[in-house]
Chain A
């Protein structure tokens, strides 16, 4: 509120969003987007480790061909809960609700998001959904798979589908509210001079993400309600006996869930687009193309959903069209990859931890995207659908792409968030461990799937030749687990023992680096006025004398 008068001793006791108020209620009732971002950070980290715990049990079961660790029913619950927790309670909120929440207002030069209280509400909805999901898991869990296809979910499963559905339904609204807040903030709260063409591409990526959250999430929410209605009231929506159609469920589900995969990857693309120019000391190559390809992904992402249904009995003509459109949607992603690569070209590249994650993202996202094209080809799809090939495909994108982007962003902005530096050596080591562990876990799954190992089997004793690759994968998962634990340990360590960070430790462009680390409650001491283009690294790196004679 009142700006602190400049008294020399206050240099060290500068008021920041972290030390402005203390006590649990100053956090639980805060409307500061930065504090809400930290609330989200803690909550999604919690769910990440829950989801990871299930993953570990899945991999342990698959260590041997026999179904010896858990029962078949338990295994079904494990992969269901793993998928539901990771998708709806970790990956969808991951970057938008933490880094996005923290950075969107700062990057556009605003004091906060447009609706700070709605922002807090979204966190509470997430927590309510999360508690219901936890309760559901602790009292028996669900076994429908994260896709909860009918008729199994509507007519057969005797596990807690409705409870899980309610949890996802509520968490969906938290996602809608975040998207709403971002759209309005980006339209209405930009600082003077911050035109659309000067916005950081992180903002464009979040804008595109928000569009999907707003337009897609209501559809999956309604779909859950319809399944629940059919289950409880026997309305004929998906059941042919009652005049319904089971494939309709898949249409509705994937109308949301394919675009939802872009909710998970677009923000990571935004993160990488900030990191690469900074550590190559160059302006991003093809700003307009990168910005508009985000919007193109958001729009065309809604036109490809039936590529998840090629073997579900849809019309052949439909399948042809959706296959073609799936190829088309890969174009904007490819444009991005080319632009990142072109940005690297002749840059003065530095290999700090955020950049290592960005490199990891580049390679793994590309492999994941290209394997998506394999899957979008009708002939190959029939062969590998419902095998480990699909599992490898989406983990390359969601874990290799989105989680790498998330970790890269956490490292890049950690000095801003916490005001402390993390230990760089450990961070590079962790990035390397994650990269190795990831590939060791998921590359064998491409091979397994291609050779015909079906997904969602807990016992493969009739095909023991698959054991070697499964052992590799389980070993990799262990390495990956260590790689994920490390950053959590040294981030926490750095909060107490880390060296204080300067306002702009990377000498990066962007408004968030022009304010203090950690920032004051209202982000800027005075409203910023933007007179420069985004990613003006040439100007930032120009020697001071040359700046005075800037004419040419």
Chain B
């Protein structure tokens, strides 16, 4: 599966791609660390979460071969996982958002 993804898609070798993704992840980690020292108020968390999501997406797409996966089952698994993650976050936040005391 990895081979077909590599040959069908990018002209560079898969190894280069993997190192590229790895470097990007390291850069993003560094960015997270630097941004944590800026005074952005509530946006500190927002930025950190956005960067973390981008990193997770990169890992799933390239290291877990979701990019160019031919298998429908793989896609189904991804969609289902995201859907249930949204349920977890959505219903939990709904609790916090509607508490009438505090």
Q: What residues make up the interface of A, taking CB atoms closer than 8 Å to B? A: 183-184, 187-188, 211, 214-215, 219, 247-248, 251-252, 255, 302-303, 305-306, 313-318, 321
Contact = CB atoms under 8 A, between A and B. Distances in A.
A215 B91 contact: no
A184 B73 contact: yes
Given A251-B95, A306-B95, 10 more contacts: A215-B80, A215-B84, A302-B87, A303-B87, A303-B91, A315-B98, A316-B100, A317-B98, A318-B95, A321-B94
A315 B87 contact: no
10 contacts: A247-B95, A255-B88, A255-B92, A306-B91, A314-B95, A314-B99, A315-B95, A315-B96, A315-B99, A318-B91
Nearest to A216: B84
A314 to B, nearest CB: 5
Contacts of A211: 80
B92 to A, nearest CB: 5
Interface in B70-95: 73, 77, 80-81, 84, 87-88, 91-92, 94-95
A304 to B, nearest CB: 10
Interface of B: 73, 77, 80-81, 84, 87-88, 91-92, 94-100
The secondary-structure label for the interface of chain A is helix
A251 B98 contact: no
A501 B88 CA distance: 49
A184 B94 CA distance: 35
A403 B100 CA distance: 43
A521 B88 CA distance: 43
B92 A248 contact: yes
B82 to A, nearest CB: 10
Given A251-B95, A318-B94, A219 B88 contact: yes
B12 to A, nearest CB: 31
Q: Which 6 A-B pairs have the closest CB atoms?
A: A318-B95, A315-B98, A315-B99, A317-B98, A251-B92, A215-B84
Given A315-B98, A318-B98, A187 B88 contact: no
Contacts of A303: 87, 91
A302 B99 contact: no
A305 B99 CA distance: 17
A314 B81 CA distance: 26
Contacts of A306: 91, 95
Contact of B73 (A187, A255, A318, A321): A187
Contacts of A317: 94, 98
A302 B73 contact: no
Contacts of A248: 92
